[in-house]
Amino acid sequence: MDNLILIGAGGLAREVGEAVTASGRYRILGVVDDDPGVHGTSVNGMPVLGGLDQVYWDRSSYVVVCAGQGRTRQAIVDRLADHDIGPSRFGTVVHPSVQVPRSCFLGVGSVLLAQVAITADVRIGRHVVAMPNVTLTHDDVVGDYATLCAGVSLAGGVSVGPAAYLGTNASVRQDVRVGAGSTLGMGSTLLQDLPDGETWAGVPARLLAPGRRLTAATTMEAVS
């Protein structure tokens, strides 16, 4: 059994740890985090070993980046690359309740939590996080570092750009594009293309005014 170190001592690390334990694919050595306040503690029974530099010295263990935001995951992967830690060192976590069909592709470093449903000809990039009960249907393409929160549902032919963030229970119409670095609010229904870097919310989803924070209240305003 291969050894695994999780990067990031937050809630996602706890969820990933449970998925890894259920799958039996890796032996978890512990968690690393650059916050010195958590060093020497434990996260859901996993010891916090120290900062990211612990990974630099361990050249045999696989690693998975457990940060909820795609751009944060990307920044950590870039830091690791500066220390010659590349794709061959990243683990991929698939909960045992998830089936990845042979017509589908899953990139290194990605995480599929419990009950993610994948149908046919789906392409999932590197360091993607799909939380419980996400549904990906035929011909969907999910870019590197994208985050799909619990209950997200993509109709067929949807394209999700790199580092996009789709909130809990958001849904996307068939053949619609979600732009790179964009955000789709929780519970939203996207019926048209969402441009790169923009934040949309509501039913149907539409652009939030510049400078407005995405909250439950703004999502409800967009519905009304």
Q: Give the separation between CA 36 and CA 207, rounded to whole angstroms.
A: 39
Instruction: For residues 9 and 72, state if they share a domain.
Output: yes
Instruction: For residues 183 and 98, state if they share a domain.
Output: yes
Closest to 154 measured CA to CA, from 180, 107, 188, 127: 188
Instruction: For residues 110 and 66, state if they share a domain.
Output: no
Residue 217 lies in a domain: no
Instruction: For residues 25 and 120, state if they share a domain.
Output: no
Instruction: For residues 116 and 75, state if they share a domain.
Output: no
Closest to 168 measured CA to CA, from 184, 146, 155, 190: 184
The last residue of a domain, from among 89, 108, 133: 89
pLDDT of residue 222: 46
Range of the domain at 139: 93-212
Instruction: For residues 196 and 112, state if they share a domain.
Output: yes
Q: Per the annotation, does 45 bind a ligand?
A: no
The number of C-alpha atoms within 13 Å of 44 and in the hemisphere containing its C-beta is: 18
Query: Residue 26 in 3-state DSSP?
Result: strand
Q: Give the separation between CA 71 and CA 31, rounded to whole angstroms.
A: 20
AA letter at 160: V
Give the model confidence (pLDDT) of 151-201 as tens digits.
999 999 999 999 999 999 999 999 999 999 999 999 999 999 999 999 999
- DSSP 8-state code for residue 166: E
pLDDT-derived band at 219 (thresholds 50, 70, 90) equals very low
- DSSP 8-state code for residue 120: S
Closest to 136 measured CA to CA, from 158, 118, 114, 162: 118
Catalytically annotated residues: 138
Q: Give the separation between CA 13 and CA 11, rounded to whole angstroms.
A: 5
CATH number of residue 138's parent domain: 2.160.10.10
User: Count of domains in the chain?
Assistant: 2
pLDDT of residue 209: 65
Instruction: For residues 42 and 114, state if they share a domain.
Output: no
